[in-house]
Structure 1
C-alpha cells in the first residue's frame, strides 16, 4: 500500500503482528505540568480564518525568557506535528517551557481546530499565518514577548526567515532541516536518497530524468486542471520508470493518481520554483527592510528528505558563519534524521519504529542558542 503524510507519499508494506500494539513514546509529555497551558484562538490578520493552538509559559511570567513560535513542515500538521504517534512539537514545547520560555504551537490552517482553506495555500500564504500568530502574541501577551524566536522545521525553516524579514523585531531563528536550495533540487535529492536507502541501489539515470521532466511539466504555465492532465499523461506513459515494477495493476493506478495529485497543486508549483537563498542571504540587497536575526541552522547526517550535503554548505555561505564575529551558527548532528530523531537509515519508513521523538542533543543545541541571545 502507500503511506501519505501531507504532500509526501511512499510505498508501505504491512506485516501481520501484534494486534493493538501500542507504540512506545516515552518523551510525549503528560500532565500535570509545572507551567501554564492555554488554548488560544488567533484571528488571521487579513483572511477570514481562525488559527487555534496551545500556548505554554512559566508560572512566573516575569521570569519568562521570551516566546518561541513553532512552525511546522510541509503538508497539513496538527499543533504537535504528530507523525506515527510521535509528537515532536509537544516535546519541544515541554522542554523549552520547563527551561523558561513561552511556546506557541498551532494547528495548520484547515487542519485540527484551525479553519480556512489550504487547497490554494503556498509557502508565502502560510507565512501570513505565522505573522498573525506573532501579532497576536505581541498584542495579548506583551510580558512574554520582550524577545521572540521563530523555530521552523523543514518548510517551516523557509517560512521563519520570511516572517522575520517582513515583520522585524525577531530576536532569533532556529531552522531544523531547512532547505537552502530551490524546491526542485530538494525533491530530486530526497527522491534519490530515499530510493537508494530503501533499495540499496543508486537511482537510475532514467528515473532521475523522469523526475526532472515531472518538475518541468509541473512548473509550466497553466491552471491546476491543465497541469494535472499533463502530469497524469506523462506518469501513465512512464509508469514503468517512475513506479516499482512489482506493483499490481491496482497499485500502479494508485501510484499514478498519487504522483498526479502531488505534482499538480499550487503549493508544489510554488515550492519547486521558490529559492530560499534570497531571504537567507545576509548580504541580500532584496531584503533590506529588516535584517536577518541571529540564526541557528541544524542538519542531520541521516536526513533523507532535506540532505545536509545539498543544503548545509550553501546555508553556511548564506549566513556567513565562517566570517569573524558572526552570530549565526550551522550545526551538524550526524545521527539525526529529518524529524529530529537519532536514527540509522533516516528513511520515512523507519520513523515509526523508533521510540525516540526528539534527540536530546538537538534539544540542548536549541536551548544553548536561545539562551545566548
Structure 2
C-alpha cells in the first residue's frame, strides 16, 4: 500500500511539474551589458516567442519536453535554442544562437512597462492601412491623416533605423514612430510609417538586401504619397536618416528630417560603436585597440585578418565575436553599409534639412555627423542642424546614453524633439 501511494505521488508530481512548464514565461538575455527581454508562450498547441524590445511577437517555436522537469525550445526562424530545467518557480538554462551560449532564467508571467506617451484612442485624426510594393517586397503600413487634410497638407514618410523593425520602430515597448505620427497629425501634418521588409506584416528578401534596397522601399512609399499630396518629405532615424539624405541627394523628396542620421562612413560609425561598447564593458585600452584594428581589417576584407586574429592576445570571447563579424562583414548588406559615405552626396541636397542628434548618443556621434552636415550641405535658409543636450540615440532624456537605459526610461521621445519637428515642418508651408 505504501509503495502504491509513493508511485501515485511521483506520478502526480510529474504531472504537476509538466503542467507548470506551460503558460507565459519571461526572462532577460544579457549580452554585453544590455538586457533583451524574451517572452515564451509555452502553449502545447501554438507555442510562440515574443521579443518586445524588437517589436517581434508571435514567433513560432517548437517545444520538446524532457522527462518531468526539463524542456528544449527551438526557434527555427533565428536558429536559436533554449534548454532549461524547472527549479522551484524558475526555468534555468542556456540560450544558444550562432554558437553563442547565454544563461537565461525564465520566471512565470511577463513584466509590464509604463509607456505614457504611446498614443491611445480616440484619435482626433484618421488612419488608413495601406500597402505598396518594391519588386517582390510588399510593404504594409499606416497612413495617418490629420482632420481636414488636402493635397496641400505636408506629409512625411518615416524610415526606421538598422535591423528589422515594425512600423512603430518599436524597441523595449517604446513606439517612437507612433508617438511622432501622433504629434504630426495633431499639428496638421500627415505621415506614413510601415513595417520593414520581411518583418511583421511586410514581405521581401532580407538576406540579400542592402541599404539601397531599403531606400527603394521608401521610394515606393513616396510614390504612393505623391498620388495624394503635393509636398512629400522623409523622416528617418539612424540608418533611416541616412536613407532620407540619400533620397534628398537624388531629388526624390521635398524636405528631410534626419534623426541621428549617419553621415560619416558606415565603417567609421561601426568602429566608433565597438570602441565605446568595449570600453564600457571594462576592457583595457590595449585590448580595445587590438580588437578595433582587427575589426577594421575585417571591414576592408583584408585576407590576413583571420591569421592575425588567431595569433592575437584577445580574450576568447572577443576572438569568437570577431570570427562571427568576419563572416557577417561578407554579406551584401554589411558590404554596402560599411561603404556608405553620404558626405560625398551632401552638395546635391537642395531640399530643406532638419538634422537632430542627442549629445549623449553613443551610436551615432553628434559631433562628427552634425559637423559633416554643417560643412557639406549647400546654403539653405530653412536648414537647421541642432545638437540636443542630454538626449540619447532614440531621443530620450537620459543620464549616460547607454543602451541599458532605453528600457528603464519611461519617456519615448523628448517633447522638445516633437515640438522642433512639427514647428519646422509647419514653417516650410508659411
Query: Normalising by the residue count of structure 1, what TM-score does the alignment of the two structures yield?
Result: 0.81
Please say if 1:173 is aligned against 2:256.
Answer: yes
Residue 354 and residue 51 in structure 1: after superposition, are their counterparts in 2 closer, same or farther (change >3 A)? same
Q: Which runs of 5+ in 2 are unaligned?
A: 1-29, 37-52, 55-99
Match of 2:289 in 1: 208
**In structure 2, the residue corresponding to 1:330 is in which secondary structure?**
strand
1:149 aligns with 2:233: yes
Do the aligned partners of residues 123 and 84 (structure 1) sit closer, same or farther apart at CA in structure 2, a change above 3 Å counting? same
Tell whether 2:196 aligns with 1:138: no
User: Which residue matches 2:126?
Assistant: 36
Matches within 5 A, 1:242-253: 243=317
**Aligned equivalents of 2:361, 2:108: Cα separation in 1:** 29
| Larger RCO (CA under 8 A, 6+ residues apart) | 1
Alignment-derived partner of residue 164 in structure 2:
76
Correspondence for 1:121: 209
Task: Note if contact 1:77-1:111 (Cα within 8 Å) is conserved in structure 2.
Answer: yes
Residue 314 of structure 1: how far off its partner (Å): 1.6
Q: CA deviation at 1:278?
A: 1.4
> In proportion to residue count, which structure has more strand?
2
Q: Is the 8 A contact 1:120 1:266 kept in 2?
A: yes
Q: 2:345 aligns with which of 254, 274, 279?
A: 279
CA 1:130 to 1:93, structure 2 compared with 1: closer, same or farther past 3 Å?
A: same
Alpha-carbon distance in 2 for matches of 1:116, 1:146: 29
What is the CA distance between 1:235 and its match in structure 2?
Answer: 5.5
Question: Judging changes above 3 Å, is the alpha-carbon distance between structure 1 residues 196 and 34 closer, same or farther for their aligned structure 2 residues?
Answer: same
Is the CA contact 1:12–1:349 (under 8 Å) kept in the aligned structure 2? Answer: no
Q: Deviations over 1:296-323 (max 9, x none)?
A: 1111011000011222222211125xx6
Once the 2 structures are TM-superposed, how far is the Cα of residue 265 of structure 1 from its aligned partner?
2.1
Distance 1:32 1:307, change over 3 A: same
Structure-2 residue corresponding to 1:48: 136
CA offsets, 1:224-280, max 9 Å, x none? xxx9xx877766655835846xxxxxxx85x45653554332212211122110122
Give the corresponding residue for 1:25. Answer: 115
**Higher share of residues assigned helix:** 1
Unaligned runs of 5+ in 1: 222-226, 245-251
Check whether the contact 2:172–2:407 (CA below 8 A) recurs between aligned residues.
Answer: yes
Distance 1:266 1:89 in 2: 27
Mapped to 2, the partners of 1:337 and 1:13 lie a distance apart of 29
1:265 corresponds to: 331
Aligned residues of 1:107 and 1:113 also touching (Cα < 8 A): yes
Q: State the secondary structure of the residue aligned to 1:43.
A: strand
Q: Which residue of 2 aligns with 1:101?
A: 189
Equivalents in 2 of 1:369, 1:239: separation in Å? 52
Inter-CA distance 348–127: structure 2 relative to 1 (3 Å threshold): same
Whether 2:374 is the aligned partner of 1:319: answer: no
Q: How far apart, CA to CA, are the structure 2 residues paired with 1:259 and 1:71?
A: 26
TM-aligned CA deviation for residue 19 of structure 1:
5.5
Deviations 1:131-168 (A, max 9, x none): 100011112xx2xx221111110011111121223243
Q: Residue 205 and residue 271 in structure 1: after superposition, are their counterparts in 2 closer, same or farther (change >3 A)?
A: farther
| Residues 64 and 101 in structure 1, CA contact (< 8 A), matched pair in contact too | no
CA RMSD of superposed structures (Å)? 3.0
**CA distance, structure 2, for counterparts of residue 51 and residue 102 of structure 1:** 18
Secondary structure of the structure 1 residue equivalent to 2:314: helix
Q: Which residue of structure 2 aligns with residue 355 of structure 1?
A: 410
User: Deviation string for 1:199-228 (max 9, x for gaps)?
Assistant: 4x7x6144234323223223328xxxxx9x
Choose the corresponding residue for 1:364, options 405, 416, 419: 419
Answer with 115-124 or 55-64: which moved more: 55-64
C-alpha change, 1:256 and 1:185, in structure 2 (3 Å) is closer
Distance 1:12 1:88, change over 3 A: farther
**C-alpha deviation, 1:120, in angstroms:** 1.3
Checking the alignment, whether the CA contact within 8 Å between 1:231 and 1:263 is kept in structure 2 is no
